[in-house]
Chain A
Amino acid sequence: MKKILAFCLAAAMVLGGCGNGSENTTEETAQADGLTVVTSFYPVYLLAANVTDGVEGVTLKNMTQPQTGCLHDYELTTEDMKTLEGADVLLINGLGMESFLDKVMGQYPDLFIVDTSTGSVTLAGDDHGHAHEGEEETDEEEVNAHIWLNPSNGVKQAEVICDALSQADPTNADKYAANTATFAESVESVIAQAEAIQAAPGTEVAVFHEGFPYLTELCGLEVGVGIYADENEEPSAKEMAEAAEEIKEDGIKLLLAADDAGMKYAETLAAETGATVVELNPITSGELNKDVYRLGMERNLQILADALS
């Protein structure tokens, strides 16, 4: 009995000690290492990487794996929780993309969470030729959360990030502002590139990723058919048949798909209708390099321009 008691005491001391120790270390790192900024997923990371580029004392981490893609039905892993544990600021995309966030807020009431979607121009979610027309009236309010695929929104998001970081870390405010200005300037060319594309009025395309309406809108394209398997909305046989009809009737030539669940449907409909599949990059996964955002957008627009010419 004594032995057990002694063991319990020892265990309690060790555990208690650990607890205190770790609290101390997090505080220390926060002070010594400056600011730890965590982003919820890949596109937000790329934008934040542009804002914090070369600023000393800032540790930027992406919470989810860079291969995760969009965060539909994402479940937090223990690794994610560890990352959040040491975070000062959490940058999120917002508009419902981070559906797991409620749980996080409960666990880390002191975490500074920044919704980067503030001020961005949004499109309505899932309202383009989807076969449930008239059925799901309530869904019409939904907003398409893939805002970063419009470069002007990308700049807006970077500006929100800049404001938030300047607030959390006023000493480096100038650097954040300078970086954001550089980023905005570099994206100017992308916006110009998009404006130069302008397709013939009324040109329709079919999209197979919910983010792509942001890209098509830039180029003056209309979304005739939208099948969003990336949102876990696998189309039924009837929806596929309706999509095939619309593609034929409206003379849709281009099927815009990403390399994900939607690709199979695009290929199936291409075989059905003779339209061409064009692969675009939703910029939701890839290497952690700040330039990927601009390069990815440039490449997308180049592919679209080539496909339209």
Chain B
Amino acid sequence: MSVIYGFLESLPLSMFQYDFMKNAFLAAVLIAPLFALLGTMAVNNKMAFFSDALGHSAFTGIGLGVLLGLDNPILAMLAFGIFLSLVITKVKAANMASSDTIISVFSSSAMALGIVILSGSGGFSKYSSYLIGDILTVSQTDLLVLLLVLIGVYVLWAVFYNQLLLLSINRSLAASRGVRVVLMENIFVIMVAVAVMVSIRAIGILMINSLLILPAAAARNVTRSARGYHWLTTVFGLVSALAGLTISYYGDTSAGATMVLTAAVLFLITYPIGKYRK
């Protein structure tokens, strides 16, 4: 850790004289590629709304954590996030209603349940920091958790990449090629759930989905190959996270929101380029 700290201090940026800025920077460096990778598939599979629902369900996770008397609600958030993502996938597969309707049903129900639990135990104003996130108080333990999740997701990605890609192109095609479709879908949504839940304290419920979707959407504007898409998304994710954090430091703005705005600017720049090329 001290090696990384030393390296950051040697950079000619005054913000790195503070440990909390170094931690925030490292959190951004870990979260950006994690979200970029998952974001590519979420955008391909038209699941932007799904991850948004997961973010909102964090409220219920926090509420359950409070009910169970946990000091840190992260375990309850993870459990509930995974549970909800599996349920949504299951209900979606039954094809009873369109998927945006189903996701909306679960999203608003989870949010409402969370608010009921939290306001029942004395008002949720003290949990409002989860809404806009707080990357400035990320601890070294948080960083370690993020690193482990990042490694886990990349390993799973490497193992299942072809099957996931096939699945995102066409479900029936994937099934005919021997891909265990339901299992793959479940693995993917669990990865998204875990990534969202471990990052939500840093980025915030309201912002987290934009960070997942915007870099991928921007990269999709201008890339043609799957490989280029993944790389450019990762680069866009890193650029927006780091530029956003730096701007927020010198410009005195909210960190998470500035990161998202930077990603939105990338989308605005790439959109006409993509349009022109077509």
Contacts and interface: CB of A to CB of B under 8 A. Distances in A.
Contacts of A64: 122-123
Interface in A273-292: 285
Contacts of A238: 249-252
B137 interface: yes
A31 to B, nearest CB: 34
B125 A234 contact: no
Contacts of B252: 131, 236-239
Nearest to B17: A241
What class of interface size applies to chain B in its complex with A?
20 to 34
Contacts of A26: none
B249 A261 contact: no
A40 to B, nearest CB: 13
Contact of A232 (B20, B125, B253): B125
Q: Give the secondary structure class of A's interface.
A: loop
B122 A232 contact: no
B122 A285 contact: yes
A171 interface: no
A271 B19 CA distance: 8
Contacts of A267: 137
A58 interface: no
B255 interface: yes
Contacts of B132: 234
Contact of A237 (B15, B119, B125, B126): B15
Nearest to B119: A77
Interface stretch (A15-23, A65-73, A87-95, A293-301): A65-73
B125 A72 contact: yes
B121 A65 contact: yes
Nearest to A69: B126
Interface in B112-161: 119, 121-123, 125-126, 128-129, 132, 134, 136-137
Contacts of A68: 122-123
A245 to B, nearest CB: 9
A167 to B, nearest CB: 32
A74 interface: yes
Most chain B CB inside 10 Å of its own CB: which residue of A229, A234, A265, A267: A234
B261 to A, nearest CB: 14
B24 interface: yes
Interface in A37-92: 64-69, 72-75, 77
A204 to B, nearest CB: 20
A268 B125 contact: no
Given A237-B24, A241-B15, A264-B137, A232 B128 contact: yes
Most chain A CB inside 10 Å of its own CB: which residue of B18, B245, B248: B18
Given A237-B21, A272-B19, A67 B122 contact: yes
A64 B120 CA distance: 11
B249 A73 contact: no
B136 A237 contact: yes
B109 interface: no
A235 B249 CA distance: 11
Nearest to B245: A237
Given A67-B122, A268-B136, A236 B253 contact: yes
A67 B121 contact: yes
Contacts of A237: 15, 21, 24, 136, 245, 248-249, 252, 255
Contact of A234 (B119, B134, B245): B134
A77 B124 CA distance: 13
Contacts of A131: 252
Contact of B18 (A69, A73, A236, A244): A244
22 contacts: A65-B123, A67-B123, A68-B122, A69-B122, A74-B123, A77-B119, A229-B129, A232-B125, A235-B136, A236-B253, A237-B21, A237-B24, A237-B252, A238-B250, A238-B251, A238-B252, A240-B136, A260-B126, A261-B129, A265-B137, A272-B19, A285-B122
Interface of B: 15, 18-21, 24, 119, 121-123, 125-126, 128-129, 132, 134, 136-137, 245, 248-255
Interface of A: 64-69, 72-75, 77, 131, 229, 232, 234-241, 244, 260-261, 264-265, 267-269, 271-272, 285
